[in-house]
Chains A and B, each alone.
Chain A
C-alpha cells in the first residue's frame, strides 16, 4: 500500500456519515483485531476487517469504498458478536456497501460479481415479488459470460423437483413495486 499523509486525507464528512448511517460509534474501535481473527472470509480479502475499521476512523474514503473486503463480507455477523467494544462491524460493512453503490463505484475484483448478484436478486424480487431462482441464476450466468455454469446442478435439481421454471407471484405485486419506488424516493431526499 502507498504511504498516506493523514492530514491531507481525513474526510470528516465521510466519518460522520458512516457513523450516522450505521448508527455505530466507529471511533470506539481500539484495533484489537478480534473481528479479523474470527472473520471466515479474511483469507480472501484485500483489507482485513479491523483495517477497514481503522481506515474509516481516519476518513480514508476512497480506499475503503473501493476495497473488495466490503463485498466479500458474508454478513455472518461473527465480528459483531465478538466485538469487545460493542460495535456492529457487520452493520458498518453494510453501510459501506450501500455508500459505494450510491456513489456509483464499480466494485473491484471479486466485489464485482458479489454486487452483480445482489442487483440481480433484487431485480427478481421487484419483478416477481419472490426470488425466481432459475431466472436469477440464468441471468447471472449470462451477465458474467458463463452460460453453462452449474447446468448439471440445475438439471439434477429439476429432476428432483427442486427447481421450478416458473414462480408463484404474490397478488400484491404492485405493492412490492411501490415499496421499491418509495424507498428510492425516500433515499433521494436524504
Chain B
C-alpha cells in the first residue's frame, strides 16, 4: 500500500508523537508513505472562518502536489484531513469552482486522487493482520476512544458514524485492550478556542475527562493533534483550576498500536506527554 503523506504543521512540533508513531507503525505494517513535497498549511479553522475561497485554495495546492505523486493522500491530523477532504469534495462537485481555484493556486488539481484519514489507512490493513502483529497485548488498558469533531463531521467527509463511531475501538481491541462505552467520544474539546478563550475551553475539556473517568477508563486514545494537546496539556490545568485529580494519559492510537507491536517506546515518543504515560503502560508490563 502506498500513500502520499501530508503531516501538517502540528505534526512537526506540538504533535510530533503522532508523526513519529504514524511513520513507525505504517512502516511496520508495510504501508509506504511518501511525504507530499513542499506541502503548505491547510488553513485550518482560521482559513474557513475568514474566506471560503482561501479555505479551498490552501488545501487545493496540497491536493495538486499529492496528485503529482499519483497517490491518494493521507493526513493523520484530523483538522488537516477534514480541510483536505472537504476541499476535494467541493472541488469535485463543482468543476467551475475547481477551475477558479486552480487559477488561484496556479497548480491544477484534477480530482484524480482521494483523501483518506490515517485511521482508514491503518484499518484497511485488516484487523486480522493487525492482531497477528501484536507481540505485547495491551491487557490492563481500559480505553476511552475519543474522536472529537473533525473525523466524523460533516457528512461529506465522515469516516464513521457521527454519534457512535467504532473504528478506533476496533483497532484497539485488536491489540488486546479493553474499550469502554462512554458518552463524550464525539463531543468537541474546544481546541480551536483554547488559545483565544481558555476559560471557555477548560469546562469543555473537563466534561470529557469527567465522562471518561466515570466510564472506568484508565486512558484516552485520540487521532487528532489538537485534541491531544488540549486534553493532555490542559488536563493538568483542569486539575489545578477545578480541584480534580484526573490522571488519564492521552495516547494517539498509533502510539498504542506501535507499543503493542513491540516497537521501541522512544520511537513512539511515549515519554514526551504532559500527563505521564509510564504508570498506565506498566499495567501492560
Contact = CB atoms under 8 A, between A and B. Distances in A.
A125 B186 CA distance: 29
A76 B149 contact: yes
Nearest to A150: B195
Interface residues of B, number: 57
Interface string B177-188: 000000000111
Nearest to B152: A81
A95 B55 CA distance: 12
A183 interface: yes
Given A77-B153, A163-B14, A170-B39, A121 B46 contact: yes
Interface string B24-58: 00000000000000111101111111111110011
Interface in A57-106: 72, 74-78, 80-81, 88, 90, 94-95, 97-98, 101
Majority DSSP secondary structure for residues of A touching B: helix
A122 B46 CA distance: 7
A129 B149 contact: no
A157 B13 CA distance: 9
A22 to B, nearest CB: 9
A180 B187 contact: no
Given A113-B196, A179-B57, A161 B272 contact: yes
Nearest to A44: B200
A171 interface: yes
A74 B190 contact: yes
B92 interface: no
Of residues A110, A156, A168, A179, which shows the largest number of chain B Cβ atoms within 10 Å of its Cβ?
Answer: A179
A80 B192 contact: no
Given A75-B45, A175-B106, A80 B50 contact: no
Nearest to B82: A77
A74 B200 CA distance: 10
Nearest to A117: B196
A78 B153 contact: yes
A157 B47 CA distance: 26
Contact of B58 (A94, A171, A179, A186): A179
A114 interface: yes
A125 B43 contact: yes
A27 interface: no
Given A74-B188, A156-B274, A170 B50 contact: no
B123 interface: no
A40 interface: yes
A94 B13 contact: no
Given A153-B233, A179-B54, A179-B58, A41 B200 contact: yes
B14 A94 contact: no
A95 B49 CA distance: 8
A183 B197 contact: no
A44 to B, nearest CB: 5
B126 to A, nearest CB: 29
B253 to A, nearest CB: 19
A160 interface: yes
Given A74-B193, A80-B153, A133-B14, A179 B45 contact: no
B190 A41 contact: yes
B188 A40 contact: yes
B89 interface: no
Nearest to A41: B200
B16 interface: yes
A3 interface: no
Interface in A142-190: 153, 156-157, 160-164, 168, 170-172, 175-176, 178-180, 182-183, 186-187
B154 interface: yes
29 contacts: A21-B52, A40-B190, A41-B200, A44-B200, A77-B150, A77-B153, A78-B186, A80-B154, A81-B152, A88-B154, A95-B52, A101-B50, A119-B50, A122-B46, A122-B47, A125-B41, A129-B41, A160-B272, A161-B272, A162-B272, A163-B13, A163-B14, A172-B38, A172-B61, A176-B61, A178-B106, A179-B58, A182-B57, A187-B51
